[in-house]
Protein backbone atom coordinates (compact mmCIF):
# COMPACT_ATOMS: atom_id res chain seq x y z
CA UNK A 1 0.00 0.00 0.00
CA UNK A 2 1.44 3.33 -0.91
CA UNK A 3 -1.21 5.98 -1.25
CA UNK A 4 -4.84 6.44 -0.41
CA UNK A 5 -7.10 7.04 -3.36
CA UNK A 6 -10.68 6.39 -4.23
CA UNK A 7 -11.17 3.59 -6.63
CA UNK A 8 -12.60 1.13 -9.04
CA UNK A 9 -16.11 1.85 -8.97
CA UNK A 10 -15.05 2.86 -5.64
CA UNK A 11 -15.19 6.53 -5.99
CA UNK A 12 -14.99 8.57 -2.90
CA UNK A 13 -16.47 6.04 -0.57
CA UNK A 14 -13.52 3.77 -0.21
CA UNK A 15 -11.17 6.65 0.25
CA UNK A 16 -8.53 4.37 1.65
CA UNK A 17 -8.68 1.46 -0.77
CA UNK A 18 -5.71 1.45 -3.13
CA UNK A 19 -6.16 -0.03 -6.59
CA UNK A 20 -3.19 -1.49 -8.38
CA UNK A 21 -4.16 -2.56 -11.89
CA UNK A 22 -1.26 -5.01 -12.24
CA UNK A 23 -2.05 -6.84 -8.99
CA UNK A 24 -5.79 -6.78 -9.74
CA UNK A 25 -5.33 -8.21 -13.21
CA UNK A 26 -3.10 -11.02 -11.85
CA UNK A 27 -5.48 -12.04 -9.06
CA UNK A 28 -9.03 -10.99 -9.92
CA UNK A 29 -9.91 -12.30 -13.39
CA UNK A 30 -13.00 -13.92 -11.86
CA UNK A 31 -14.63 -10.51 -11.29
CA UNK A 32 -15.20 -9.79 -14.99
CA UNK A 33 -16.49 -13.34 -15.49
CA UNK A 34 -19.11 -12.78 -12.80
CA UNK A 35 -20.61 -10.00 -14.90
CA UNK A 36 -21.86 -12.28 -17.68
CA UNK A 37 -25.43 -12.35 -16.34
CA UNK A 38 -25.87 -8.58 -16.37
CA UNK A 39 -24.31 -8.37 -19.82
CA UNK A 40 -27.12 -10.63 -21.01
CA UNK A 41 -29.71 -8.53 -19.16
CA UNK A 42 -28.37 -5.38 -20.78
CA UNK A 43 -28.42 -6.88 -24.29
CA UNK A 44 -26.43 -3.98 -25.77
CA UNK A 45 -27.40 -2.87 -29.29
CA UNK A 46 -25.29 -1.39 -32.09
CA UNK A 47 -24.93 2.38 -31.83
CA UNK A 48 -26.21 2.65 -28.27
CA UNK A 49 -24.19 4.84 -25.94
CA UNK A 50 -23.32 2.81 -22.86
CA UNK A 51 -21.52 3.93 -19.70
CA UNK A 52 -19.67 1.36 -17.59
CA UNK A 53 -19.59 2.79 -14.07
CA UNK A 54 -16.59 1.56 -12.12
CA UNK A 55 -14.90 0.13 -15.17
CA UNK A 56 -11.74 -0.88 -13.31
CA UNK A 57 -9.07 -2.23 -15.64
CA UNK A 58 -11.56 -2.49 -18.52
CA UNK A 59 -11.68 -6.30 -18.84
CA UNK A 60 -15.45 -6.31 -18.31
CA UNK A 61 -15.98 -3.09 -20.30
CA UNK A 62 -14.28 -4.63 -23.32
CA UNK A 63 -16.96 -7.31 -23.42
CA UNK A 64 -19.48 -4.63 -24.45
CA UNK A 65 -17.54 -3.54 -27.51
CA UNK A 66 -18.40 -6.42 -29.91
CA UNK A 67 -22.08 -5.46 -29.63
CA UNK A 68 -21.37 -2.34 -31.69
CA UNK A 69 -22.34 -0.05 -28.82
CA UNK A 70 -20.33 3.11 -28.16
CA UNK A 71 -18.77 2.42 -24.78
CA UNK A 72 -17.37 4.82 -22.19
CA UNK A 73 -15.87 3.61 -18.90
CA UNK A 74 -15.39 5.67 -15.76
CA UNK A 75 -13.52 4.84 -12.60
CA UNK A 76 -12.14 6.84 -9.70
CA UNK A 77 -8.80 5.04 -9.72
CA UNK A 78 -6.32 6.55 -12.21
CA UNK A 79 -4.21 3.37 -12.33
CA UNK A 80 -7.25 1.33 -13.37
CA UNK A 81 -8.31 3.91 -15.95
CA UNK A 82 -4.81 3.81 -17.46
CA UNK A 83 -5.08 0.02 -17.74
CA UNK A 84 -8.49 0.32 -19.42
CA UNK A 85 -7.08 2.86 -21.89
CA UNK A 86 -4.27 0.48 -22.74
CA UNK A 87 -7.02 -1.89 -23.93
CA UNK A 88 -8.08 0.81 -26.38
CA UNK A 89 -11.16 1.84 -24.39
CA UNK A 90 -12.52 5.35 -23.88
CA UNK A 91 -11.97 5.40 -20.11
CA UNK A 92 -12.05 8.44 -17.86
CA UNK A 93 -11.31 9.22 -14.22
CA UNK A 94 -14.55 10.26 -12.52
CA UNK A 95 -16.19 10.19 -9.11
CA UNK A 96 -19.46 8.28 -9.39
CA UNK A 97 -21.01 10.41 -6.66
CA UNK A 98 -20.82 13.50 -8.82
CA UNK A 99 -20.75 12.37 -12.44
CA UNK A 100 -20.57 15.23 -14.89
CA UNK A 101 -19.53 13.91 -18.28
CA UNK A 102 -21.37 16.54 -20.32
CA UNK A 103 -23.31 13.85 -22.19
CA UNK A 104 -26.13 11.38 -21.65
CA UNK A 105 -26.30 7.63 -22.23
CA UNK A 106 -28.84 5.05 -23.39
CA UNK A 107 -27.71 2.67 -20.68
CA UNK A 108 -25.48 2.45 -17.63
CA UNK A 109 -23.95 -0.85 -16.54
CA UNK A 110 -21.93 -1.54 -13.40
CA UNK A 111 -20.22 -4.76 -12.35
CA UNK A 112 -18.88 -5.33 -8.83
CA UNK A 113 -18.39 -1.65 -8.20
CA UNK A 114 -21.42 -0.10 -6.50
CA UNK A 115 -20.76 -1.81 -3.15
CA UNK A 116 -17.61 0.31 -2.78
CA UNK A 117 -19.66 3.51 -2.89
CA UNK A 118 -20.97 4.27 0.55
CA UNK A 119 -23.27 7.13 -0.39
CA UNK A 120 -25.68 5.19 -2.61
CA UNK A 121 -28.32 7.90 -2.89
CA UNK A 122 -25.80 10.35 -4.34
CA UNK A 123 -24.57 7.71 -6.78
CA UNK A 124 -28.08 6.77 -7.92
CA UNK A 125 -28.98 10.44 -8.40
CA UNK A 126 -25.85 10.91 -10.51
CA UNK A 127 -26.70 7.86 -12.64
CA UNK A 128 -30.25 9.15 -13.17
CA UNK A 129 -28.77 12.44 -14.40
CA UNK A 130 -26.57 10.81 -17.05
CA UNK A 131 -29.29 8.46 -18.36
CA UNK A 132 -31.83 9.51 -20.95
CA UNK A 133 -35.48 9.02 -19.88
CA UNK A 134 -36.32 5.36 -20.47
CA UNK A 135 -32.63 4.46 -20.37
CA UNK A 136 -31.55 1.19 -18.72
CA UNK A 137 -29.49 0.81 -15.59
CA UNK A 138 -28.19 -2.73 -15.11
CA UNK A 139 -25.89 -3.69 -12.29
CA UNK A 140 -24.45 -6.45 -10.19
CA UNK A 141 -22.96 -5.74 -6.79
CA UNK A 142 -22.43 -7.38 -3.45
CA UNK A 143 -25.75 -7.72 -1.65
CA UNK A 144 -26.87 -8.47 1.88
CA UNK A 145 -24.74 -11.27 3.36
CA UNK A 146 -21.93 -10.80 0.84
CA UNK A 147 -18.53 -12.07 2.03
CA UNK A 148 -20.09 -12.54 5.48
CA UNK A 149 -17.63 -15.23 6.52
CA UNK A 150 -14.69 -13.16 5.35
CA UNK A 151 -16.00 -10.10 7.18
CA UNK A 152 -16.43 -12.04 10.42
CA UNK A 153 -12.81 -13.20 10.19
CA UNK A 154 -11.59 -9.67 9.44
CA UNK A 155 -13.58 -8.23 12.29
CA UNK A 156 -12.35 -10.92 14.68
CA UNK A 157 -8.72 -10.27 13.75
CA UNK A 158 -9.30 -6.54 14.26
CA UNK A 159 -11.09 -7.08 17.59
CA UNK A 160 -8.01 -8.92 18.85
CA UNK A 161 -6.19 -5.70 18.15
CA UNK A 162 -8.78 -3.50 19.87
CA UNK A 163 -10.29 -2.18 16.61
CA UNK A 164 -13.93 -2.04 15.48
CA UNK A 165 -14.23 -3.70 12.06
CA UNK A 166 -17.77 -2.43 11.47
CA UNK A 167 -16.55 1.15 11.71
CA UNK A 168 -13.80 0.48 9.16
CA UNK A 169 -15.91 -1.54 6.71
CA UNK A 170 -15.62 0.02 3.21
CA UNK A 171 -18.63 -1.79 1.73
CA UNK A 172 -22.35 -1.26 1.20
CA UNK A 173 -24.20 -4.59 0.83
CA UNK A 174 -27.92 -3.73 0.82
CA UNK A 175 -30.95 -5.98 1.06
CA UNK A 176 -33.07 -6.16 -2.12
CA UNK A 177 -35.84 -4.20 -0.39
CA UNK A 178 -33.53 -1.39 0.69
CA UNK A 179 -31.91 -1.02 -2.70
CA UNK A 180 -35.21 -1.19 -4.59
CA UNK A 181 -36.53 1.66 -2.44
CA UNK A 182 -33.46 3.74 -3.14
CA UNK A 183 -33.80 3.11 -6.90
CA UNK A 184 -37.43 4.23 -6.87
CA UNK A 185 -36.61 7.34 -4.83
CA UNK A 186 -33.90 8.22 -7.36
CA UNK A 187 -36.42 8.08 -10.23
CA UNK A 188 -36.06 4.53 -11.52
CA UNK A 189 -38.63 1.86 -12.24
CA UNK A 190 -37.34 -1.50 -11.05
CA UNK A 191 -37.91 -4.11 -13.78
CA UNK A 192 -36.12 -6.98 -12.07
CA UNK A 193 -34.02 -7.42 -8.99
CA UNK A 194 -32.62 -10.52 -7.32
CA UNK A 195 -30.32 -11.53 -4.49
CA UNK A 196 -28.37 -14.67 -5.40
CA UNK A 197 -25.75 -16.61 -3.38
CA UNK A 198 -22.84 -17.05 -5.77
CA UNK A 199 -19.73 -18.61 -4.16
CA UNK A 200 -16.66 -17.94 -6.29
CA UNK A 201 -13.38 -19.76 -6.59
CA UNK A 202 -10.44 -17.53 -5.75
CA UNK A 203 -7.66 -19.23 -7.68
CA UNK A 204 -4.98 -16.87 -6.35
CA UNK A 205 -5.89 -17.70 -2.75
CA UNK A 206 -7.08 -15.80 0.28
CA UNK A 207 -3.83 -13.90 0.92
CA UNK A 208 -4.18 -12.42 -2.57
CA UNK A 209 -7.86 -11.62 -1.98
CA UNK A 210 -6.93 -9.77 1.21
CA UNK A 211 -4.06 -7.99 -0.56
CA UNK A 212 -6.44 -6.70 -3.22
CA UNK A 213 -9.44 -5.73 -1.15
CA UNK A 214 -8.73 -5.05 2.53
CA UNK A 215 -6.69 -1.86 2.47
CA UNK A 216 -9.37 0.12 4.29
CA UNK A 217 -8.92 -2.17 7.28
CA UNK A 218 -5.16 -2.45 7.01
CA UNK A 219 -4.60 1.30 7.08
CA UNK A 220 -5.88 1.25 10.66
CA UNK A 221 -3.00 -1.02 11.70
CA UNK A 222 0.66 -0.25 12.27
CA UNK A 223 2.57 -1.17 9.12
CA UNK A 224 4.54 -3.83 10.98
CA UNK A 225 1.36 -5.68 11.98
CA UNK A 226 -0.39 -5.81 8.59
CA UNK A 227 1.12 -9.06 7.34
CA UNK A 228 0.33 -10.76 10.67
CA UNK A 229 -3.23 -9.41 10.46
CA UNK A 230 -3.73 -10.98 7.03
CA UNK A 231 -2.19 -14.24 8.27
CA UNK A 232 -4.71 -14.22 11.15
CA UNK A 233 -7.65 -13.62 8.78
CA UNK A 234 -6.54 -16.41 6.46
CA UNK A 235 -6.01 -18.81 9.39
CA UNK A 236 -9.54 -18.09 10.68
CA UNK A 237 -11.00 -18.71 7.21
CA UNK A 238 -9.05 -21.81 6.35
CA UNK A 239 -11.34 -24.35 8.10
CA UNK A 240 -14.48 -22.96 6.42
CA UNK A 241 -13.53 -21.56 3.00
CA UNK A 242 -10.63 -23.79 1.94
CA UNK A 243 -11.73 -26.88 0.09
CA UNK A 244 -10.19 -30.33 0.60
CA UNK A 245 -8.37 -29.87 -2.73
CA UNK A 246 -6.80 -26.70 -1.14
CA UNK A 247 -8.53 -24.20 -3.47
CA UNK A 248 -10.38 -21.26 -1.89
CA UNK A 249 -14.04 -20.35 -2.15
CA UNK A 250 -15.34 -16.87 -1.27
CA UNK A 251 -18.93 -16.51 -0.08
CA UNK A 252 -20.19 -13.96 -2.60
CA UNK A 253 -23.87 -12.98 -2.68
CA UNK A 254 -24.86 -10.94 -5.73
CA UNK A 255 -27.53 -8.29 -5.92
CA UNK A 256 -28.54 -7.85 -9.57
CA UNK A 257 -31.04 -5.45 -10.98
CA UNK A 258 -32.39 -3.94 -14.16
CA UNK A 259 -34.11 -0.58 -13.75
CA UNK A 260 -35.27 2.03 -16.23
CA UNK A 261 -35.11 5.75 -15.71
CA UNK A 262 -38.63 7.07 -15.39
CA UNK A 263 -39.66 9.81 -17.85
CA UNK A 264 -39.29 13.38 -16.44
List the interface residues with ligand BEZ, window 149-188 (CB under 6 A).
Answer: 171
252 binding ligand BEZ? (CB under 6 A)? yes
For residue 116, the minimal CB distance to ligand BEZ (Å) is 8
For residue 247, the minimal CB distance to ligand BEZ (Å) is 18
147 binding ligand BEZ? (CB under 6 A)? yes
Distance (Å, rounded) from C-alpha 41 to C-alpha 138? 7
142 binding ligand BEZ? (CB under 6 A)? yes
Nearer to ligand BEZ, 113 or 126 (CB): 113
229 binding ligand BEZ? (CB under 6 A)? no
Distances, alpha carbon 191 to alpha carbons 13, 126, 188, 262, in Å: 27, 20, 9, 11
Antiparallel, parallel or unpaired: β 70-75 and 49-53:
parallel
For residue 159, the minimal CB distance to ligand BEZ (Å) is 19
Residues in the chain: 264
Nearer to ligand BEZ, 100 or 194 (CB): 194
- Print the binding letters for residues 74-113 with ligand BEZ: x by CB under 6 A, - otherwise: --------------------------------------x-
Residue 202: phi, psi to the nearest 5? -110, 90
Distance (Å, rounded) from C-alpha 61 to C-alpha 55? 6
Nearer to ligand BEZ, 31 or 128 (CB): 31
Piece of 5-13, 47-55, 85-93, 141-149 that binds ligand BEZ (CB under 6 A): 141-149
- Residues 207 and 146: beta-carbon distance below 8 Å: no
Containing H/E element for 72? Answer: strand 70-75
Nearer to ligand BEZ, 171 or 229 (CB): 171
Buried b (16+ CB within 10 A) or exposed e, 120-148: bebbbbbbbebbeeebbbbbbbbbebbbe
146 binding ligand BEZ? (CB under 6 A)? yes
Distances, alpha carbon 234 to alpha carbons 34, 50, 115, 221, 252, in Å: 23, 39, 23, 17, 17
Piece of 4-12, 85-93, 139-147, 220-228 that binds ligand BEZ (CB under 6 A): 139-147
Nearer to ligand BEZ, 60 or 213 (CB): 213
Piece of 50-58, 75-83, 126-134, 140-148 that binds ligand BEZ (CB under 6 A): 140-148
- Residues 137 and 131: beta-carbon distance below 8 Å: yes
Task: Mark residue 242 as left, alpha or beta (left: phi above 0; alpha: psi -120 to 50; beta: remaining).
Answer: beta
Nearer to ligand BEZ, 85 or 198 (CB): 198
| Residue ranges that bind ligand BEZ, judged by CB under 6 A | 112, 115, 142, 146-147, 171, 213, 252
Amino acid sequence: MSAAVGAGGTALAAASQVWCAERYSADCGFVAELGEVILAWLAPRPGERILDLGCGDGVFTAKLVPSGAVVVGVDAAPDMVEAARRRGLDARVADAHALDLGETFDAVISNAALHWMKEPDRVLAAIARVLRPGGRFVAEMGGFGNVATIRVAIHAALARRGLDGAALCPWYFPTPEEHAQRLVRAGFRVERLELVPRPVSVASGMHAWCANFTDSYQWALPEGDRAAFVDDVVALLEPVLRRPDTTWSADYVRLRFLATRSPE
